[in-house]
């Protein structure tokens, strides 16, 4: 199998179990206590990273980079965990990772960082990322990165990538109605925005962690500052809608009575 | 004064799908809000003639089309080329498109090419002091924002189910063909096929009136000390066939397959609802054997009426996340429901 240079774009998001509250600031909306919230690697980007590592393992001579834009201190915390999972080289960008940023500006920073990675061979380049983030959730950054890199073979909502013996790619993308679109591409360069993929989260591997961390700390020290200015974008309001319902808890009905009630409800227009 | 371009791709049979007609409604609404604006329709596909006639009475000032076999197939490079050509030919300042997989794949790239900006998952639009304001969700449907932009062209991908599909009369109209000079590299990627995840059993039905969600409890040990995954699968499938409900799942149940535990064979990550899954739109949702934890329930944002069946009276659904929580054994309840459905 041919080898690949796989660049994964992935940032950090608040742990999904945290309560999030928006606040207004001079530079636009943000989250209350944003820097204090525990963070994780963005879930779909994490899938992309695991798929990248899996592919690199199978294709000898491949290499994985993780390009990550986020506050340096938070990146360091998250990388302590992520580094235990799979081998990669970090390219850190020091800037905001919140949801109220503009994908156009984020894509510009990511594309510039990718172009600056020494030794990346375009003929072997696969740019991976999540198809959406769990913060902004726009599903637009990867395409813009691809355009800036001049890559026209792009796929979104990817659940499977198969590499044939001749190096060609077969890709399954999520489409409407619970189906997959199957496409074939002769080979790199390509952009793949991953959905869930098929791999479980890899177990922690201390040896991998130690090897990764040797390069991660210097990468964090070298992190280039990135300023996102929200040019031309203004937020009128950001609010958490009340969704608390008055739950009726039904404890003492028989299964038959519950079934009857559910059926009547289903049949009501 | 804005020039609003409605972008849509025609289906294989030459028609326009429901999301395209919903986006047309959104585009007409925005034109109504922004006095002096004009609407242009831009279609792409193998042959756009029938579709243009079909929406001929929508009030658009111009109808543009990119046609040809290369534009029939869903593919980033050709779809982006068509959208770029239509946007340039129309002189659009606002580009409205349905958030289909096809447009979602390529429109951000087109916005980049035109030095425009894009916002996706748009759920509503209004005018504020004569300026367009749109709404969308952030942090996986946890908070809703209203926003404006000064950059143009501004691309807006409209979420499905937020507008009524446009319905009007078929009228012959003049179609302006827009030529696209495709480089050879644009067709490097070949579309092969659409594939359902499980042969013979389509469980995801976006237009269904009911979302039926299964949780990990279906595969846990039951009162007899054994798991009953096969019976669970039969009960669930029987219910889905009889009601034509759409099947959703919690992440924990889908993940069990990867951990070597008993699973429901027809479930895949495509069924997953929540933080790392989908956020479907259905009028009603029924959760079974699911604890209603926050990462899952964020995917219920657009489910209007919610009920749950769970043995735990203190589960997440009881804490204001469902309208009704039945504290009951889902196996028994669904067995009875299926019997009643069979009896008519």
pLDDT value of residue B117: 98
pLDDT value of residue B99: 97
The CA-atom distances, in angstroms, between B237 and each of A12, B54, B204, B243 are 38, 38, 12, 10
Which structure tokens are listed for A102? 């503009």
pLDDT bin (cut points 50, 70, 90) of residue B269 is: confident
In tens, the pLDDT along A134-192 reads: 999 999 999 999 999 999 999 999 999 999 999 999 999 999 988 999 999 999 999 99
Does residue B171 belong to the interface with chain A, where contact is any CB pair within 8 Å? Answer: no
In tens, the pLDDT along A190-206 reads: 999 999 888 888 999 99
Residues of B in contact with A265 (CB under 8 A): 284, 305, 307
Does residue A107 belong to the interface with chain B, where contact is any CB pair within 8 Å? Answer: yes
State the Cα–Cα distance between residues B146 and A10, nearest whole angstrom. Answer: 26
Residues of A in contact with B340 (CB under 8 A): 259-260, 263
Candidates A15, A31, A141, A143, partner chain B, best to mutate (most B CBs within 10 A): A143
Candidates A154, A198, A235, A242, partner chain B, best to mutate (most B CBs within 10 A): A154
State the Cα–Cα distance between residues B322 and A98, nearest whole angstrom. Answer: 30
**Residue that is written with structure tokens 């992935």 in the block:** A10
Partner residues linked to A170 by β-bridges? A162, A184
Minimum Cα–Cα distance from A105: chain B residue? B117
pLDDT value of residue B259: 60
Lowest mean pLDDT among B30-34, B119-123, B227-231: B227-231
pLDDT value of residue B139: 93
Lowest mean pLDDT among A10-19, B196-205, B333-342: B196-205
Mean pLDDT of B28-34: 96
Please check whether residue A189 is in contact with residue A125, taking contact to mean a CB–CB distance below 8 angstroms.
yes
Q: State the number of CA atoms in the 13 A half-sphere of B311 facing the CB.
A: 13
pLDDT bin (cut points 50, 70, 90) of residue B257 is: low
pLDDT value of residue B98: 98
In tens, the pLDDT along B297-330 reads: 989 988 999 999 999 999 999 999 999 999 999 9
Which structure tokens are listed for B307? 């009920």
Average pLDDT, chain B: 93
The CA-atom distances, in angstroms, between B50 and each of A234, B61, B283 are 40, 18, 32
pLDDT value of residue B199: 46
pLDDT value of residue B253: 84
In tens, the pLDDT along A71-112 reads: 999 999 999 999 999 999 999 999 999 999 999 999 999 999
Q: With an 8 Å Cβ cutoff, are A266 and B210 in contact?
A: yes
Does residue A14 belong to the interface with chain B, where contact is any CB pair within 8 Å? Answer: yes
Residues of A in contact with B104 (CB under 8 A): 139, 156
pLDDT value of residue B295: 84
pLDDT value of residue B258: 62
A97-135 burial code (b ≥16 CB/10 A, e <16) = bbbbbbbbbbbbbbbebbeeeeebeeebbbbbbbbbbbb
Residues of A in contact with B275 (CB under 8 A): 16, 43, 134
Does residue A247 belong to the interface with chain B, where contact is any CB pair within 8 Å? Answer: yes
Query: Above 60 in pLDDT, residue B200?
Result: no
Q: With an 8 Å Cβ cutoff, are B186 and A100 in contact?
A: no
Q: With an 8 Å Cβ cutoff, are A177 and B340 in contact?
A: no
Q: At what angle do helices B229-243 and B330-342 cross, to 10 degrees?
A: 40
Q: Quick one: what percent of chain B has pLDDT higher than 70?
A: 97
Mean pLDDT of A6-21: 93
Q: With an 8 Å Cβ cutoff, are B195 and A243 in contact?
A: no
State the Cα–Cα distance between residues A67 and A69, nearest whole angstrom. Answer: 7
pLDDT value of residue B202: 78
Q: How many residues does chain B have?
A: 344
Which residue, among A97, A18, A1, A107, has the nearest Cα to A56 in the 3D structure?
Answer: A1
Minimum Cα–Cα distance from B212: chain A residue? A266
Mean pLDDT of A235-241: 91
How many Cβ pairs within 8 Å bridge chains A and B? 280
pLDDT value of residue A78: 97
Does residue B54 belong to the interface with chain A, where contact is any CB pair within 8 Å? Answer: no
Query: Above 70 in pLDDT, residue A215?
Result: yes
pLDDT value of residue B109: 98
Question: Longest Cα pair distance anywhere in chain B, in angstroms?
Answer: 71
Q: How far is B172 from chain A (nearest CA, A)?
A: 30
Mean pLDDT of B245-273: 81
- Provide the whole-model pTM: 0.91
Q: Please report the domains of chain B, with CATH numbers, ordered by start residue.
A: 3-187 (3.40.50.620), 210-343 (3.40.50.1220)
Does residue A264 belong to the interface with chain B, where contact is any CB pair within 8 Å? Answer: no
> Hey, what long-range contacts does B82-87 have (CB within 8 A, 24 or more apart)?
B82/B9, B82/B44, B82/B180, B83/B7, B83/B42, B83/B44, B83/B107, B83/B110, B84/B110, B84/B113, B84/B114, B85/B178, B85/B179, B85/B180, B86/B5, B86/B7, B86/B42, B86/B44, B86/B178, B87/B5, B87/B7, B87/B42, B87/B114, B87/B153
Which residue, among B106, B133, B134, has the nearest Cα to B121 in the 3D structure?
Answer: B134
Residues of A in contact with B191 (CB under 8 A): 181-183
Minimum Cα–Cα distance from B294: chain A residue? A17
State the Cα–Cα distance between residues B246 and B229, nearest whole angstrom. Answer: 20
Please check whether residue B10 is in contact with residue B100, taking contact to mean a CB–CB distance below 8 angstroms.
no
Q: With an 8 Å Cβ cutoff, are B335 and A255 in contact?
A: yes
Q: With an 8 Å Cβ cutoff, are B195 and A231 in contact?
A: no
Q: Is B108 exposed, middle or buried (0-12, 13-18, 19+ CB in 10 A)?
A: buried
Q: With an 8 Å Cβ cutoff, are A152 and B188 in contact?
A: yes
Query: Above 50 in pLDDT, residue B16?
Result: yes
Please check whether residue A64 is in contact with residue A52, taking contact to mean a CB–CB distance below 8 angstroms.
yes
Query: Above 60 in pLDDT, residue B170?
Result: yes
Q: With an 8 Å Cβ cutoff, are A178 and B196 in contact?
A: yes
Between positions 205 and 234 of B, the ones with CB within 8 A of A are: 205-206, 209-210
Q: With an 8 Å Cβ cutoff, are B326 and A262 in contact?
A: yes
Q: With an 8 Å Cβ cutoff, are A181 and B194 in contact?
A: yes
In tens, the pLDDT along B42-90 reads: 999 999 999 999 999 999 999 999 999 999 999 999 999 999 999 999 9
Does residue A84 belong to the interface with chain B, where contact is any CB pair within 8 Å? Answer: no
State the Cα–Cα distance between residues A204 and A202, nearest whole angstrom. Answer: 7
**Residue that is written with structure tokens 């774009």 in the block:** A9
Q: With an 8 Å Cβ cutoff, are B336 and A183 in contact?
A: no
Q: Quick one: what percent of chain A has pLDDT higher than 70?
A: 100
Please check whether residue A145 is in contact with residue A111, taking contact to mean a CB–CB distance below 8 angstroms.
yes
Residues of B in contact with A245 (CB under 8 A): 306, 320-323
Q: Is B40 left (phi over 0), alpha (psi -120 to 50) or beta?
A: beta
pLDDT value of residue B262: 59
pLDDT value of residue B197: 63
Please check whether residue B44 is in contact with residue B98, taking contact to mean a CB–CB distance below 8 angstroms.
no
Complex ipTM: 0.94
Minimum Cα–Cα distance from A193: chain B residue? B105
């Amino acid at each position: 199998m041919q080898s690949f240079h796989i660049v994964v774009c992935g940032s950090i998001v608040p742990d999904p179990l945290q309560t999030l509250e928006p606040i207004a600031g001079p530079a636009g909306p943000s989250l209350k206590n944003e820097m204090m919230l525990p963070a994780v690697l963005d879930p779909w980007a994490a899938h992309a990273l695991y798929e990248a590592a899996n592919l690199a393992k199978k294709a000898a001579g491949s290499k994985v980079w993780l390009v990550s834009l986020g506050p340096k201190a938070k990146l360091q915390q998250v990388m302590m965990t992520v580094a235990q999972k799979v081998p990669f080289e970090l390219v850190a960008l020091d800037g905001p990772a919140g949801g109220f940023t503009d994908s156009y500006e984020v894509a510009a920073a990511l594309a510039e960082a990718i172009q600056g990675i020494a030794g990346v061979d375009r003929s072997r380049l696969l740019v991976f990322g999540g198809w959406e983030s769990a913060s902004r959730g726009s599903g637009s950054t990867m395409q813009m990165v691809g355009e800036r890199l001049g890559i026209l073979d792009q796929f979104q909502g990817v659940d499977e990538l198969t590499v044939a013996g001749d190096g060609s790619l077969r890709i399954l993308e999520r489409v409407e109605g619970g189906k997959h679109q199957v496409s074939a591409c002769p080979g790199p360069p390509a952009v793949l925005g991953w959905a869930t993929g098929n791999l479980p989260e890899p177990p922690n591997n201390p040896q991998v962690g130690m090897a990764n961390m040797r390069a991660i700390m210097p990468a964090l020290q070298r992190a280039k500052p990135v300023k996102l200015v929200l040019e031309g974008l203004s937020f009128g309001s950001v609010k958490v809608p009340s969704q608390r319902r008055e739950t009726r808890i039904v404890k003492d009905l028989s299964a038959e009575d519950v079934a009857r009630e559910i059926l009547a409800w289903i049949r009501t227009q | 004064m804005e020039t609003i371009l409605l972008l849509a791709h025609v289906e294989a049979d030459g028609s326009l799908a429901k999301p395209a007609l919903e986006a047309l409604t959104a585009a007409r609404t925005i034109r109504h809000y922004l006095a002096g604006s004009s609407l242009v329709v831009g279609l792409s596909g193998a042959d756009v003639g029938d579709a243009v006639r079909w929406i001929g009475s929508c009030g658009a000032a111009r109808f543009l089309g990119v046609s040809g076999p290369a534009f029939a197939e869903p593919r980033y490079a050709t779809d982006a080329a068509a959208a770029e050509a239509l946007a340039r030919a129309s002189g659009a300042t606002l580009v409205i498109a349905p958030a289909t997989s096809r447009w979602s794949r390529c429109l951000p790239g087109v916005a980049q090419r035109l030095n425009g900006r894009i916002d996706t998952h748009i759920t509503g639009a209004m005018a504020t002091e004569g300026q367009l304001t749109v709404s969308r969700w952030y942090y996986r449907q946890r908070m809703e924002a209203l926003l404006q932009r000064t950059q143009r062209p501004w691309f807006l991908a409209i979420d499905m189910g937020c507008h009524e599909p446009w319905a009007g009369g078929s009228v012959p109209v003049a179609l302006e063909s827009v030529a696209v000079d495709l480089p050879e590299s644009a067709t490097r990627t070949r579309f092969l096929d659409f594939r359902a995840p499980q042969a013979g059993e389509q469980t995801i039905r976006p237009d269904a009136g009911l979302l039926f969600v299964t949780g990990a409890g279906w595969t846990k040990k039951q009162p007899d000390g054994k798991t009953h995954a096969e019976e669970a699968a039969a009960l669930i499938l029987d219910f889905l066939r009889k009601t034509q409900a759409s099947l959703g799942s919690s992440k924990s149940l889908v993940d069990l397959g990867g951990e070597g535990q008993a699973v429901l064979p027809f479930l895949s990550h495509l069924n997953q609802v929540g933080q790392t899954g989908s956020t479907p739109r259905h009028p009603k949702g029924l959760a079974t054997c699911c604890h209603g934890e926050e990462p899952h329930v964020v995917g219920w944002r657009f489910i209007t009426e919610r009920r749950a069946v769970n043995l735990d009276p203190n589960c997440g659904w009881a804490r204001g996340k469902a309208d009704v929580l039945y504290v009951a054994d889902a196996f028994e309840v669904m067995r009875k429901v299926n019997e009643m459905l069979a009896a008519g």
